């Protein structure tokens, strides 16, 4: 599905910082069918993720970026909510970016579009899907992200508040929350057609499986470490059949009824 833009305060992009770019590129292009184009990974010619080398303010790993119309205003809200600015605003390829940390140290990128809005395709295999905040203090996280970005936390039923999903004020889900068992950080996730098959491929390409594919009702999910030890996850949404019935009556005209 072609993407045209993102609402403020929602994930728009993921970027990998690697100490061995050639090795990382080989792994992810084989696993997800990506290609490399400068500082980006592409799928069918469309940008799906970023790619950079490690430096002082950008350690190894995947980083999720949130779109914002004004980086400075966003950083001010972050600081007022108790977060910190790790990397100040700087011009980037197609926009301006900055890096922030929440009070527990979990890092996120901020992206102000200037010609490039972020991922150009989504909702299909090989594209980013909901990232997850790994945290053992859901209350503190909800306070910070609510104040800084206007997010709401919807608890997962039966999780005792340790799991849930982040939703916008329009009640659109766009990220997840899970216990970390120590520390706080954001984990990138990618959509795949089949979790079990992708896990087998990932092992063959040098990855380590942290958790096997689990059926969560709405789909399957698994956690991995790439050959460099970088954590990420994969998710395969459940196929939900939809039945569409069309009828035409004199009084109401054409009616479409969804079932399934």
246 within a domain of the structure (yes/no):
no
Please report whether residue 243 resides in a domain: no
pLDDT per residue over 149-174, tens digit each?
A: 999 999 876 677 778 999 998 889 99
Q: Confirm whether 244 is domain-assigned.
A: no
Residue 250 lies in a domain: no
Whole-angstrom Cα distance, residue 134 to residue 21?
Answer: 26
DSSP H or E stretch at residue 211: strand 208-215
Residue 124's pLDDT band (cuts 50, 70, 90): very high
**pTM given for the model:** 0.89
Q: Is residue 242 in a domain? A: no
CATH number of the domain that residue 37 is part of: 3.10.180.10
**212 part of a folded domain:** yes
Residue 182's pLDDT is 85
Percent of the chain surpassing pLDDT 90? 75
Q: By three-state DSSP, how is residue 185 classified?
A: strand
pLDDT of res. 240: 46
* pLDDT at res. 248: 58
Predicted confidence band at 244 (pLDDT cuts at 50, 70, 90)?
very low
pLDDT for 210 beyond 80: yes
Summarize pLDDT for 179-208 with one digit per residue, the tens: 997 889 999 999 999 999 999 999 999 999
Q: Which helix (H) or strand (E) segment is 90 a member of?
A: strand 84-92
Query: What's the pLDDT at 19?
Result: 93
Domain around 177: 11-237
Nearest Cα to Cα of residue 64 among 24, 10, 23: 10
Average pLDDT, stretch 33-53?
95
Nearest Cα neighbor of 130 from 217, 202, 191, 193 is 191
pLDDT digits (tens, 9 = 90+) for 215-226: 866 679 999 999
Give the model's pLDDT for residue 237.
84
Neighbours of 4 (CB within 10 A): 6
Does 202 fall in a domain?
Answer: yes
Q: Note whether residue 2 is domain-resident.
A: no
- Residue reference for tokens 């010619």: 45
**Domains of the chain: total:** 1
Task: Name which of 5-14, 67-76, 185-194, 207-216 the model is least confident about.
Answer: 207-216
């Amino acid at each position: 599905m072609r993407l045209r833009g993102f609402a403020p305060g929602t994930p728009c992009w993921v970027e990998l910082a690697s100490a061995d770019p050639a090795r990382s590129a080989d792994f992810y292009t084989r696993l997800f069918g990506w290609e490399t184009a400068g500082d980006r990974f592409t799928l069918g010619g469309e940008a799906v993720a970023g790619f950079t080398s490690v430096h002082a303010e950008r350690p190894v790993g995947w980083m999720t970026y949130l779109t914002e119309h004004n980086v400075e205003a966003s950083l001010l809200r972050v600081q007022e909510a108790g977060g910190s600015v790790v990397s100040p605003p700087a011009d980037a390829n197609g926009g301006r970016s900055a890096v922030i940390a929440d009070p527990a140290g979990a890092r996120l990128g901020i992206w102000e579009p200037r010609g490039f809005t972020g991922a150009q395709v989504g909702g299909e295999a090989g594209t980013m899907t909901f990232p997850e905040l790994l945290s053992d203090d859901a209350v503190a996280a909800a306070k910070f992200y609510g104040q800084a970005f206007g997010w709401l936390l919807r608890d997962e039923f039966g999780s005792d508040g340790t799991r849930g999903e982040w939703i916008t004020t329009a009640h659109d889900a766009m990220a997840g929350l899970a216990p970390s068992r120590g520390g706080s950080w954001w984990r990138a996730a990618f959509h795949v057609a089949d979790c079990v098959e992708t896990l087998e491929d990932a092992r063959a390409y040098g990855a380590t499986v942290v958790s096997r594919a689990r059926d969560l009702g709405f789909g399957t999910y698994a956690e991995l470490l790439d050959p460099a030890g970088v954590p990420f996850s994969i998710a395969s949404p459940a196929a939900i059949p939809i039945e569409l019935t069309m009828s035409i009556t004199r009084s109401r005209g054409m009616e479409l009824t969804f079932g399934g």
